[in-house]
Structure 1
Amino acid sequence: MIQRLNSGRRILTYPAVHPCENIAPETLLISLIALSHNICSYKSKFNASNKRNALEAIRQIGVVRVFLEEIRDGSSGLPDSTILSFSELHLALQKFQYLLEDCTRDDARVWMLMNSERVADQFRVLIRAISTALDVLPLDNIHVADEAKEQVGLVMRQTRSFRFEVDRDDKRAVEVIKSVLVGFEKRVDPDRSELKRVLDHVGYRRWSRCEKEVRFLESEIGFENVREGKREVRMLSSLTGLLCYCRCVMFETVDGLPGLRPESKSSSAVVSFLNVEDFRCPISLEIMTDPVTVGTGHTYDRSSIMKWFRAGKPICPKTGERLKSMGVVPNLALKRLIQQYCSENGISFGDSGRRRSRDIGRTIVAGSLGAEEAMKMAAGFLSERAAGGTVGERNKAAYEIRLVSKTSIFNRSCLVEAGVVPHLLKLLEDMESQENAVAGLLNLSKHSKGKAAIVESGGVDLVVGVLKEGLKVEACQHAAGTLFYLASVEEYRILIGENPRAIPALRELIRNGSDRGKKNALVAIFGLLTHPANHRRVLAAGVVPLLFEILASFDSEVLVTDSLAILATLAEKPEGAVAISRCKALDLIVGILNSSTSRAAKEFCVSLLLALTANGGHNVVALLVKSPSLMGCLYSQLSEGTSRASKRASALIKALHEFQETRSSGPVNRVLPQERFVHVR
């Protein structure tokens, strides 16, 4: 009967519901006592604002709880006439519980402070609702001590007379915040002593407390941006800028684990040991937003598996086993892990394509002038600290740059313009700061100005040095990711390819790195292959055999797909086709084409086989025509594959037919005319 708090609700919303009409008064009474007991437990919790109002409301509800317990203990039965009063009281107490939950949240204290007037109004409205519910309670029909009735009467009088107003200290803190935000808009540095008083008022004496609210505010901005009105985006953005500034400037150290990682709970430790690939749907390869489990025990994103079922496939995509039922069970534990992973890594959870495009658009500019100037000031401060601070200050600056640059294109622009790139490059040689510095460079390399700043500051050789000799695996994989983004520019692809250490270092990361490191190295190589001269360098580095090791192990479908993309690109040139043919793995490629659930992997398989028939000679075609399952796979691509996969499958089918038709009439000069070859892009 007790309404459980909805963990997915928005803050300052109260989704309370009326009890059902036919509920017994005794059942409703038990639920009311439990609710009031829960509310009274909030007395010991910290309220950053509206302390006086919260304590007074809890005190009055405590008196009501005693009265309700008296009714429970002294009455053998309750008249039906109590249901109306109990129902209204139940509704009000539910809302009270939601309100107190928000008031005691440790990640929304500044936001609740800025909403002090609204919160005080809610206390006033809800306490009046309790008074009204008690007013219609038929006390004459309830057997309870007169003292208890008098206590309830006293509460009713007090609820009408008590003035739920904003605390004076709250008002002063709000005025300071508003003044600082106006100062930001005018490019005036805030008074740090004033900021410290505000932070002390809300209990933010540690870096991690400030960081938690930044994450909360960013999530609220995401919600507001999909609303039509977007009424609160400006204030939310301004407060985010303010707290980012405070996090960077007001705290000397990052509390938590060594290496400047924020304080984490046990669940965070669990997330750190999981691979993000475990969060991807085996069908779409995207991070799941609504994971569900089918009868075989395998988990998929709900939208993907439902689409699979609607296509008339009552089987498990991973095992091929026919399902007795197409019912699915929500995997709530996995969903919570994914939500936490996304929160800790700055990834928006549950975005549709439309939502993602909006989020990208909003990160190009700040949500308000105050947020814009606050970030510029913070970027300037971080640049100075990264350049000339103590060892600890430089390391913290590198970590802050890493964190700030992760979530916003605008933030990256501010940091690049503040001149942080040369300072981060110098920190690559610092044992304490290397990982944070290269992670910051990775984020900044996603910005066009960031790419230019890295290359113009001589950063390619320094990043390659970290890739080859990084002190931590994480530093190596961040370096590979940086090279991938730099390789999106033609002249930088040439520069990276000409570095004699770059491609061999990427090869070693493929051989010995983590799954994330291998992924970054593979996509970096794929990006480099867009420049023709890098084909020869990749082949000379011995990358091809490693790619087939990945295909044979099939530990990760994402890595398999990336490996196939590289092989298909290499096979476009005769020397690449020859190197691939030497590995004698045609059966392996056909097997992946037959078994993979990834449309992208299947398309790359077809592209690879098509390129091999064009550039690998008659021996390749002769082996392919002997494969009993190949033709069926190719025909399935005609109807199930992408338009490109369908065209390439059609070309490959024609090539195989031509080979079979001409075997009896003599050799042919070309298995597949050059103009039929479709290049992989």
Structure 2
Amino acid sequence: MAEEEATAVVDGRALVERMAEAAEEISAISDYRNAYRKQFCDLSRRMKLLEPMFQELKESKDPIPEQAVRSLVLLKRALDSARELLRLGNEGSKIFLVLEREKTTKRFLEVTVQLEQALSEVPFNMLNISDEVREQVELVHAQFKRAKERVDMNDMDLHRDLLSAYNMSTDANVDPSTLHRLAEKLQLLTISDLKQESLALHEMVVASDGDPGEIIEKMSMLLKKVKDFMQTQNPEMGTPTNKGLLPSNERAKPPVMPDDFRCPISLELMKDPVIVATGQTYERESIEKWLQAGHDTCPKTQQRLSNKSLTPNYVLRSLIVQWCEANGIDPPKRPARTGKSRPTCSSGEHAKVLDLVSKLSSRSTDNQQSAAAELRLLARRSAENRLCIAEAGAIPLLVKLLSTLDVLTQEHAVTALLNLSIFEDNKEKIIISGAVPGIVHVLRRGSMEARENAAATLFSISVVDDYKIRIGNLGAIPPLVSLLREGSPRGKKDAATALFNLCIYQGNKGKAVRAGVVPILVGLLMDPEAGMMEETLAILAILSSHSEGKAAIAAAEALPALVEAIKSGSPRNKENAAATLLHLCSGEQQQQHLAEAHEKGLMGLLQEMAENGTDRGKRKAAQLIQRMNRFLEQKRVAQAQALAKQSGNPASPDFDYR
């Protein structure tokens, strides 16, 4: 371990690479369906919040000071401990975790303390990470600090039930109500669950101390009792444990249901699958009950839901129906909807929509153009029309028209998609229809109005976080940057809002910088006639947290315009200008930028902002003032040393060197 630490101290970059890899591995671990699900999910959620810090350190080209590397070595060890514990929660035996309750609780406490202590040692002022990420890490640190005071995993009833059933002789009858509670609390409700538990039990017990033979026998017998009980409750479960006793030609071969077809909450075949804001799919009835109970998180990922809208997963439902039909199973029927009704259009409008949709498939360009134009207007009028048009199958046909050579048809098609995307349920339909490459094509080659509306469409559908990644990977950013440079005033604003939304995702920031967005933004910032100050400062603020973005902003000589924004901008613009300057005044060129900012009179502006600005503005101003004071002190020391050297007196007795 000492050798590993010494190596890590020498090679800070390699250490950061390993930490980023460990964080990615932790993010990939999920599905903690055991008695301590909440504790595992809480730990997993906190670890995922640390991942942006490692990514920023990985992308930064600034050297990592030796003192910071030493503290990161401790954090790397804590990461490894957390990863192993989360793997145990994901792959380990549910029964074993409960029986070894005290050891499990102790491991959680040890990992929590280890992470809290490691985070307390991290010298953030020495690391090139954004203020937003630092605030997030400090929040996680505070959560670990509180958590180590109250690690509580005791479910006494479950432990008592399990211990009672476990200690019974092999031929003793366990109370069915006890077996029912065990099956539910341990999430041993399907043949798949029981199989996985059997394998996990064997692997864990063999690796443990004690007598593996006796433990395996007792746990396996308990598992068999749970399985037999579940079969009496659900005869359709099958008897996979007896398959090996039958001749191969007599073995039943029930179809194996794909895990993706089961609702993560009910574990049943989904009848009406819907997608929540995190991108996870659930049975509508199950997730509605979850939300109605007051929860605002995704049950599977434990992420907070940005909204509580439910988008029908038509693709998955179609796959489920196909699988059922191929295996001779009656397809599940969607339950009748109760409660809040979805918007519906009148029978007359519905007939009109069906007629227009049929014309989209016509070989006549005139028919296609007129139908797309009318659908564009209908989609603009109401939510009812947007739903009706989508359910009539218009979206895939409109997507096909994005590549047409007829300029007007293309313009109507992309604008119709924009209007349809306003209805939340339609965003996913547009994405899964493969619309993004077509929208990017219009963004590159369409008329100016079509390009503007293509940019607005990308902004609309990128509200869903997962789609930001897909849109960035499909090449949308360079043509958006081109529109920002050469578009009409409205087109520039549409491009800016889309770029801002996409660059919230860290991976898209580098793409935007490499596409040349920074010089364009700085040019717009310096042009008072452009009317784009708010948009440009917002984008510059998020790009400045990226190493390439910071370098590009410095190269574009944006500092005078940023100081001017702090001097005369709106409160929001002052915040974003200060946030951008804060990133510029760190790293390799910080002395140069601080000197220039001081010459421009920044200190007085910051003091005013620290007293009268918004809460966020005050924080940014205070951090910049601290850096400016440190710079001025270093400058004073350097001048005093230079004067002392010139006078032949290298050490002044009344001067405090630091």
TM-score of the aligned structures, taking structure 1 as reference length? 0.41
TM-score, normalised to structure 2, is 0.43
